[in-house]
Structures are given as structure tokens and as C-alpha cells.
Amino acid sequence: MKRLSLIVAVCLASAPASAALKPGVRATDFTTQAVLAGEPYTYNLNKALKRGPVVLYFYPKAFTSGCTVEAHEFSEAADEFASYGASIIGMSADKVETLKRFSVEACRNKFTVGVASKPVIKAYDVSLPVMGGSNRTTYVIAPDGKVLFAYSELGVKGHVSGALKAVKNWRAANPKSK
């Protein structure tokens, strides 16, 4: 059975998935437990959107190799995202205690990580049953709540660069927005 699970995981990792929410649709609001720089707080998507676009990325599990690399890449780009008015939140099914460490060690205190509950995973259609949590999907959501960018790929490549391009394009089209 373990071997079958491994084979399924390898197959899933080698094939790109399509993001469930397509650009132009309204993103589902949610409130969740979150952590920034090791400090827990309550995060609400609609509240964050009042300050500008949100890069919402889902990842399978904190402290796994790909998820740590992706967190490092987002942390390296966090200041550039902020310069365009965007904030970042990474979401996984991990517990808050794990996210406290991950936010400091992997995210380098640069952005929020939150608990992806089953309803949130379902609403964003990012379920990865093999891991019991979410797959690797990145969305950029405009302040009006509409999805600007959606990218699902279990590999790390393309998530940060695609999201940054979407945020830059949004800023160019909305120079006076928050």
C-alpha cells in the first residue's frame, strides 16, 4: 500500500494540474488562524484585499524540500510584491505550532502563513488526497476579489514568477489603486 501511495505521488508530481478557480471568478472569502514572524493572529482574506492584491499560495506540507524552497523564493520576492501593493499568504493543512516555526525559518518573517482548513481547500479546489492536505497552487486575487492569476504545478518553478508578473500587470492597469 505504501508503494502504491508513492507511485501515485510521483505520478501527481510529474503532471501539471489545472487550477480550479479561473481568472475572472470571485475568490471565496475565508478567515483562518495565521502566523507572521512566529506570532499567531486571525487572518481574513477580504480584510487583506482592502490593502491591495493578495498572493494566495497553497503548499502541501511545511518543512518538506519543495515547500521550503518555495517559501524561500516567496520571501526573497516579498519586498518586490509589497512595492506593487501586494501581500502574500501561504496556506497548508499544517498546525499553527508548525507554522510558527515555518514562518520564521522558511518564510524568514517576510509573509503570513495560514492554516488551510478542509472547507478552504475545497473552496479553492486544491486537495491533494495523497498528502491529506493541499496541492501546490498559486492565485493572485485583485482587491475586488476576482482571481487574476491561477497556477497549479507540484513543482516549485513558475509560482513566484507568474504571481509577480500578474501583480505587476495589475499595478500597471491600476496605478492609483491601493
**3-class DSSP state of 48:** helix
Instruction: Please choose, from the candidates 153, 128, 123, 117, the residue with its C-alpha nearest in 3D space to the C-alpha of residue 138.
Output: 153
Catalytic residue among 34, 54, 56, 67: 67
Give residue for cell 525559518: 105
Q: Which residues contact 126 (CB under 8 A, 6 or more apart)?
A: 20, 58, 116, 134, 135, 137, 152
Residue 143 is placed in which grid cell? 482587491
d(CA 43, CA 28): 14
DSSP 64-130: SHHHHHHHHHHHHHHHHHHHTT-EEEEEES--HHHHHHHHHHTSTTSSEEEE--HHHHHHTT-EETT
Residue 11: active-site member: no
Nearest partner of 75 among 90, 97, 58, judged by Cα: 90
The set of catalytic residues is 67
